[in-house]
């Protein structure tokens, strides 16, 4: 005997309701899982532009990029990260965090050779290991096996410097942080200088220093003594390496918060100690600054704070490695937007003040090719 139609309809509605609820839970679960790989179909590698190609072979590319506050979305009681929390004034969130990771992946791919991102990437303004791990494991960068070097520093904002590298192209030998303590202001905290030593091309040693010098917050004149001090400290570290081996290959990169023509660079880091001193570092970005190029915009003008500085041996190719050409500022169109206030272009930033813009960063990346002699 057939069941009444009313009973059949009730069962059908119950089954339909359970099915819809189940599908909704499945979708929510997929969207909230922390380990989802972020892929934007319009950012396929073969559609990412390349700014320049190597002019000499074989080469390895090394770049530096200020990531503009790559914070995670969780509170760390030991850091001043309250701005970058879902309940913070910037409204930072898990979704925005993963979106930013995918944008950084696009930049790194564009800064490399076609389909082949850089061997080494120096970065600054990153909060912790968690953010770096997600960057190299939850974006398509995972296909290239990147690892990283990072040490927690005492910076009051809780942002550090770090180095990403591909083990197939760079053999890590040693690393350490050089904490910066100002003798004239011991209470002031800033970023470490990160030192990494390793082999390029499997046999040629290079010493790399990743920097993020004290900012100009409070005014250039009021803060210049701190940048001068860091420059002198870094020079003393380089001198110790060069005194032991004058042919050492040294590469200094970073956001120095000064231009190549400022005192910290000219009088402290790259100045000859004497008329016969031929081992002082050489600022390869000085010619770019003299041509009016820059990596960040302030008002109507550009500053070149992100720099590449090398030892004479690396510039001339004295011992196995040599700089190929000159450094390049990666001015991809997708990193820039129209500047409606000051004219021309400006950086497509993650934030404009406290307002979320959804862009990339507030600096342009710089890079250099190193060839094997």
- For 339, the token pair is 């500047």
pLDDT at 58: 81
pLDDT at 76: 86
Residues 277, 255, 283: CA angle, nearest 5 degrees: 25
CB distance 246 to 313 below 8 Å: yes
pLDDT at 33: 37
**Average pLDDT in the 221-250 region?**
96
- Local confidence band at 227 (pLDDT 50, 70, 90 cut-offs): very high
- Local confidence band at 107 (pLDDT 50, 70, 90 cut-offs): very high
Q: How far is CA 30 from CA 24, 25, 35, 94, 207, in A?
A: 10, 9, 10, 14, 43
Burial letters 288-314, b for 16+ CB under 10 A, else e:
bbeeebbbbbeeeebbbbbbbbbbbbb
Q: Give pLDDT tens digits for 37-54.
A: 444 433 444 455 555 555
In whole angstroms, give the CA distance from residue 181 to residue 193.
Answer: 11
pLDDT at 222: 84
Q: How many CB atoms lie within 10 A of CB 359?
A: 19
Mean pLDDT of the chain: 88
pLDDT at 217: 82
In whole angstroms, give the CA distance from residue 126 to residue 255.
Answer: 13
- What is the value of pTM for the model shown? 0.87
CB distance 341 to 290 below 8 Å: no
**DSSP3 helix / strand / coil % (the chain, rounded to 5):** 30, 25, 40
Residue 218 or residue 293, greater confidence: 293
Q: Rounded to 5 degrees, what are φ and ψ at 27?
A: -65, -45
In whole angstroms, give the CA distance from residue 108 to residue 278.
Answer: 35
The pLDDT of residue 275 is above 90: no
Per CATH, domain 60-372 is 3.60.20.10 = no
Q: Using only C-alpha atoms, what is the Rg of the chain?
A: 24
């Amino acid at each position: 005997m057939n069941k009444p139609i009313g009973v059949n309809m009730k069962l059908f509605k119950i089954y339909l309701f359970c099915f819809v609820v189940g599908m909704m839970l499945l979708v929510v679960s997929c969207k909230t899982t922390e380990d989802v790989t972020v892929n934007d179909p319009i950012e396929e590698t073969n559609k990412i532009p390349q700014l320049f190609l190597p002019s000499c072979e074989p080469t390895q590319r090394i770049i530096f990029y200020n990531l503009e506050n790559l914070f995670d979305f969780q509170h760390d009681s030991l850091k001043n990260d309250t701005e970058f929390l879902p309940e913070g004034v910037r409204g930072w969130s898990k979704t925005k965090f993963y979106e930013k990771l995918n944008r950084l992946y696009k930049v790194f791919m564009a800064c490399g050779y076609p389909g082949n991102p850089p061997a080494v990437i120096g970065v600054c303004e990153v909060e912790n290991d968690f953010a770096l791990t997600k960057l190299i494991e939850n974006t398509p960068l995972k296909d290239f096996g990147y690892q990283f070097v990072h040490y927690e520093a005492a910076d009051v904002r809780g942002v550090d410097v770090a180095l990403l590298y591909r083990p197939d192209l760079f053999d890590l030998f040693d690393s350490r942080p050089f904490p910066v303590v100002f003798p004239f202001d011991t209470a002031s905290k800033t970023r470490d200088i990160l030192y990494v030593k390793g082999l390029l091309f499997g046999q040629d040693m290079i010493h790399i220093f990743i920097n993020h010098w004290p900012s100009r917050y409070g005014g250039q004149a009021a803060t210049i003594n701190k940048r001068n001090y860091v420059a002198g400290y870094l020079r003393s570290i380089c001198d110790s390496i060069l005194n032991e081996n004058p042919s050492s290959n040294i590469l200094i990169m970073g956001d120095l918060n000064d231009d190549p023509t400022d005192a910290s660079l000219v009088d402290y880091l790259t100045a000859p100690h004497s008329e016969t001193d031929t081992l002082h570092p050489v600022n390869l970005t000085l010619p770019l600054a003299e041509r009016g190029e820059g990596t960040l915009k302030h008002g109507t003008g550009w500053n070149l704070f992100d720099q590449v500085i090398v030892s004479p041996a690396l510039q001339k190719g004295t011992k196995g490695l040599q700089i190929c050409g000159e450094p390049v500022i990666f001015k991809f169109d997708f990193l820039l937007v129209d500047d409606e206030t000051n004219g021309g272009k400006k950086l497509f930033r993650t934030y404009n003040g406290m307002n979320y813009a959804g862009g990339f960063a507030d600096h342009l990346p710089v890079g250099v090719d190193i060839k094997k002699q």
